[in-house]
Amino acid sequence: MEITTQMIKELREATGVGILDCREALTNAGGDFDKAVDILREKGLARAAKRAGREASDGIVELYSHGNGRVGVMVEVNCETDFVARSEGFRTLAHEIALQIAAGSPEYVTEEDVPEAALERERQVARNRAKEEGKPENILDKIVAGRIEKYYDEVCLLRQTYIRDENRTIKELIAEQVGALGENILVRRFVRWELGEHAGADESED
């Protein structure tokens, strides 16, 4: 199948990846747009893994207000250079991450950030619930492990499903931009406020 300029343009607009990579992905996918997206996604994750150890000390602090000021988000997203920090692709990514935080209400960036006390509480709740439901003793550990994975998906920003695409996680979204921009990108920290929330609620979880 002939790979047209229009096909390459559409794939580039959808993924933010360079022209040559888009052409190669479309060629390998036989012109299938969805398969090409999957190829680029896998490639982006591989590139992200390679660049994960590189220092990212530049970037942006993105501010976002939602619902006429009812929800406010501040998130620090880092990259390696000022050049990328000023790019449209990076700034769009930072904005999308802020939107995700506002909508998804994550509590942590990654699973490594979740306090052991919070995990133990979830384990105990899952185990007690399984016992109440009459689950066999020999599968309780498996049930608890599954609940912890689900908990990570709910409270960890990078594991949440992207609000604009249920087939992608935020980690995959960032990885695609790592592949497109050629630099390590990471979410350093964030704060989410919602009108009427009890002050200091987050700190009490530690």
How do residues 110-134 score in pLDDT, each as one tens digit?
A: 999 999 999 999 999 999 999 888 8
Backbone phi and psi for residue 192, each to the nearest 5 degrees, phi listed first: -125, 125
Which CA distances in Å does 9 have to 13, 15, 102, 130, 196?
A: 6, 10, 31, 51, 45
Radius of gyration of the chain (CA): 20
Which pLDDT score, from 0 to 100, does residue 37 have? 82
What values do phi and psi take at 58, rounded to 5? Answer: -100, -170
CATH numbers and ranges of domains, the chain? 5-51 (1.10.8.10), 58-110+156-205 (3.30.479.20), 115-153 (1.10.286)
d(CA 48, CA 13): 20
* Separation CA 153–CA 136 (nearest Å): 26
Q: Is the pLDDT of residue 44 over 70?
A: no
Q: Which amino acid is at 31?
A: G
Q: Is the pLDDT of residue 195 over 50?
A: yes
**Predicted pLDDT at 134:** 87
| Distances 63 to 30, 40, 102, 131, 203 between C-alpha atoms, Å | 41, 29, 11, 45, 21
